[in-house]
A = this chain, B = another copy of it.
Amino acid sequence: MTDEREFLESYDPAEFAPVSVTVDVVALTIRDGQLHVLLVERGGHPFAGWRALPGGFVQDEALDAAALRELAEETGLRPGEGDLDRVHLEQLRSYGDPGRDPRMRVISVAYLAFAPSLPDPRAGGDASGAFWVPVDEVGELAFDHTTILADGLDRARSKLEYTPLATAFVGDEFTISELRAVYAAVWDEELHAGNFHRKVLSVPGFVESTGETSTRGGERGGPKARLYRAGDARLLHPALLRPAREDGIR
Binding site for B on A (CB under 8 A): 1, 3-4, 6-7, 10-11, 14-21, 44-46, 56-63, 91, 93-98, 102-105, 107, 109, 126, 204-205, 232-235, 237-238, 244, 248-250
Chain B residues whose CB sits within 8 angstroms of the CB of A15 once the complex forms:
57-59
Chain B residues whose CB sits within 8 angstroms of the CB of A21 once the complex forms:
19, 21, 96, 107
* Nearest CB of B to A14, in Å: 7
Given contacts A44-B10, A103-B4, contact A237 B233 (CB under 8 A): no
The reply to whether B61 and A98 form a contact with Cβ atoms under 8 Å apart is: yes
Chain B residues whose CB sits within 8 angstroms of the CB of A14 once the complex forms:
59-60
The reply to whether A58 and B104 form a contact with Cβ atoms under 8 Å apart is: no
Chain B residues whose CB sits within 8 angstroms of the CB of A235 once the complex forms:
248-249
The reply to whether A102 and B237 form a contact with Cβ atoms under 8 Å apart is: no
The reply to whether A3 and B103 form a contact with Cβ atoms under 8 Å apart is: yes
Looking at chain A's contact residues, the main secondary structure is loop
* Nearest CB of B to A236, in Å: 8
The reply to whether A96 and B58 form a contact with Cβ atoms under 8 Å apart is: yes
Chain B residues whose CB sits within 8 angstroms of the CB of A6 once the complex forms:
44-45
Name the one of B10, B20, B94, B237 contacting A91, with C-beta atoms under 8 angstroms: B94
* Nearest CB of B to A160, in Å: 14
Chain B residues whose CB sits within 8 angstroms of the CB of A94 once the complex forms:
63, 91, 93-94, 109
The reply to whether B19 and A20 form a contact with Cβ atoms under 8 Å apart is: yes
* Nearest CB of B to A62, in Å: 5
* Nearest CB of B to A68, in Å: 14
Closest 6 CB pairs between A and B? Answer: A63-B96, A7-B103, A237-B244, A94-B94, A4-B103, A15-B57
Report the separation of the CA atoms of residues A108 and B102 in the bound assembly, to the nearest whole angstrom. 22
By beta carbon, the residue of chain B nearest A6 is: B45
Report the separation of the CA atoms of residues A250 and B205 in the bound assembly, to the nearest whole angstrom. 8
Report the separation of the CA atoms of residues A194 and B45 in the bound assembly, to the nearest whole angstrom. 62
Name the one of B109, B234, B238 contacting A107, with C-beta atoms under 8 angstroms: B109
The reply to whether B93 and A93 form a contact with Cβ atoms under 8 Å apart is: yes
Chain B residues whose CB sits within 8 angstroms of the CB of A109 once the complex forms:
94, 96, 107
By beta carbon, the residue of chain B nearest A244 is: B237
By beta carbon, the residue of chain B nearest A231 is: B250
